């Protein structure tokens, strides 16, 4: 089996590294601080924005999975250095560059999101994410690297905590039977990317040469509103119906004074104020992976959170 390097160990990086290890691959995870080793996974401390350090860590790798991202409020300032470094490391080592992307680059769109939409975002976070992919695609088209991007919507599932809009904000409260507050319209259809499916898609496209050179959407179940997802999660948790309340602009305004994250969410509020639907039919037509049925997603998520709460006492 091959050596694979995963940059970042947030929810997606951890899920990808563990999936690769389960498949029998050697896995090396690069983070700033490093970690203790775990079965099949070597953790090393390195600054991924330094291409030399990253290239050294990736020597002999078949693929580099970039699952890292700067802090949300520092994207515009810090993404360019990270993107340049992972591209340079892929060029130096010959490893396939597999990038975890999101949907910000499209900006607001009328209708379902498909991979052939222009990257027309006007906000800083959307523009920088579009530029990250355009840089990698340009290197790919020049023949200097082999690159592919997998784009996900909001993460959901086991392992997703504070970084996940649905799981991190919703499940801990509904497990206690508490009301849930939401951005935007709680009844607008919204696509949710199940974390294990994100990891499986990243690993699948790494080994498929016909996938390289373009972006793909993670296979995703039909869009469901926040209210629908809360109802499913509450039913699975056994806490009964849970109220879903829309946060008022006034409350968000006050929260933004104290929270950089809330301030930054203003740019992408459109994703929750209107239908936000991902079309993943291109992926399904080309590859084997299918989205996990939503009932299985919900059960696994509730079970994971129950275990987390119990462990915390």
Q: What CATH number does residue 67 fall under?
A: 3.40.50.720
Domain identity same for 182 and 199:
no
* 70: Cα separation from own chain's centroid: 13
Domain identity same for 210 and 308:
no
Listing DSSP states for 120-159 in one string gives ---SHHHHHHHHHHHHHHHHHHTTS--EEEEE--EEESTT
pLDDT in tens, 11-42: 999 999 999 999 999 999 999 998 888 999 99
Q: What are phi and psi of 97, to 5 degrees?
A: -95, 115
Q: How many domains does the chain have?
A: 2
Domain identity same for 259 and 303:
yes
d(CA 310, CA 290): 32
Residue 286 counted as domain residue: no
pLDDT recorded at residue 278: 98
Task: Please classify residue 191 by burial: count the beta carbons closer than 10 Å to its beta carbon, then call 0-12 exposed, 13-18 middle and 19+ buried.
Answer: buried
d(CA 169, CA 240): 18
Residue 75 counted as domain residue: yes
**Between residues 225 and 182, the one the model is more confident about:** 225
Residue 135 counted as domain residue: yes
- Length of the chain equals 313
Q: What is the CA radius of gyration of the chain?
A: 19
Domain identity same for 227 and 87:
no
pLDDT recorded at residue 255: 60
Residue partners of 213: CB distance under 8 A and separation at least 6: 137, 140, 141, 146, 147, 148
Are the C-beta atoms of 126 and 104 separated by less than 8 Å? Answer: yes
d(CA 22, CA 34): 21
pLDDT in tens, 74-98: 899 999 999 999 999 999 999 999 9
Residue partners of 150: CB distance under 8 A and separation at least 6: 98, 99, 100, 101, 198, 201, 202, 205, 215, 216, 217, 218
**Between residues 216 and 308, the one the model is more confident about:** 216
Domain identity same for 46 and 67:
yes
Domain identity same for 163 and 233:
yes
Domain identity same for 255 and 169:
yes
Domain assignment of residue 183, given as a range: 156-191+222-278+293-312
d(CA 252, CA 181): 11
**Nearest of 68, 20, 79 to residue 46 by alpha carbon:** 68
Mean pLDDT value of segment 230-252 = 84
pLDDT in tens, 155-180: 999 999 876 677 667 888 888 888 98
pLDDT in tens, 92-142: 999 999 999 999 999 999 999 999 999 999 999 999 999 999 999 999 999
Mean pLDDT value of segment 283-295 = 98
Bridge partners of 194, per DSSP, are 156
pTM: 0.95
Domain identity same for 35 and 149:
yes
Domain identity same for 92 and 169:
no
Domain identity same for 57 and 36:
yes
pLDDT band at 257 (very low <50, low <70, confident <90, very high): low
Domain identity same for 127 and 274:
no
pLDDT band at 260 (very low <50, low <70, confident <90, very high): low
> What average pLDDT does the structure give for the chain?
92
SS3 category, 41:
strand
**% of the chain surpassing 90 pLDDT:** 76
pLDDT at 258 over 70: no
Domain identity same for 187 and 212:
no
pLDDT band at 144 (very low <50, low <70, confident <90, very high): very high
Are the C-beta atoms of 63 and 96 separated by less than 8 Å? Answer: yes
pLDDT band at 184 (very low <50, low <70, confident <90, very high): confident
Name the residue with tokens 């991007």: 149
pLDDT recorded at residue 25: 97
pLDDT recorded at residue 172: 85
CA distances, 125 to each of 15, 79, 294 (Å): 24, 10, 29
């Amino acid at each position: 089996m091959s050596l694979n390097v995963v940059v970042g160990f947030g929810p997606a990086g951890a899920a990808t590294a563990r999936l690769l290890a389960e498949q029998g691959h050697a896995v090396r995870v690069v983070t700033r601080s490093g970690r203790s080793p775990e079965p099949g996974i070597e953790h090393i401390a390195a600054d991924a924005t330094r291409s030399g350090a990253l290239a050294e860590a990736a020597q002999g790798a078949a693929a580099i999975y970039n699952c890292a991202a700067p802090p949300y409020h520092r994207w515009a300032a810090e993404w360019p250095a990270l993107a340049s470094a992972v591209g340079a490391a892929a060029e130096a080592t010959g490893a396939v560059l597999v990038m975890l992307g999101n949907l910000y680059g499209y900006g607001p769109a009328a209708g379902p999101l498909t991979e052939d939409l222009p990257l027309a975002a006007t906000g800083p976070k959307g523009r920088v994410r579009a530029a990250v992919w355009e840089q990698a695609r340009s290197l790919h088209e020049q023949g200097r690297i082999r690159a592919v991007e997998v784009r996900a919507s909001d993460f959901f599932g086991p392992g997703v905590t504070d970084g996940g809009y649905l799981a991190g904000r919703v499940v801990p409260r509904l497990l206690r039977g508490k009301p849930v507050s939401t951005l935007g319209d709680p009844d607008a259809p919204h696509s949710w990317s199940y974390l294990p499916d994100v990891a499986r898609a990243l690993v699948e496209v790494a080994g498929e040469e016909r996938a390289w050179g373009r972006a793909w959407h993670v296979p995703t179940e039909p869009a469901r509103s926040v209210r629908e997802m809360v109802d499913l999660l509450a039913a699975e948790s056994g806490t009964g119906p849970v109220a879903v309340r829309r946060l008022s602009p006034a409350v968000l305004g006050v929260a933004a004074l104290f929270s950089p994250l809330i301030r930054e969410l203003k740019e992408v509020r459109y994703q929750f104020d209107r239908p936000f639907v991902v079309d993943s039919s291109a992926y399904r037509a080309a590859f084997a992976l299918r989205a996990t049925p939503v009932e299985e997603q919900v059960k696994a998520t509730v079970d994971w959170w129950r275990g987390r709460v119990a462990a915390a006492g």
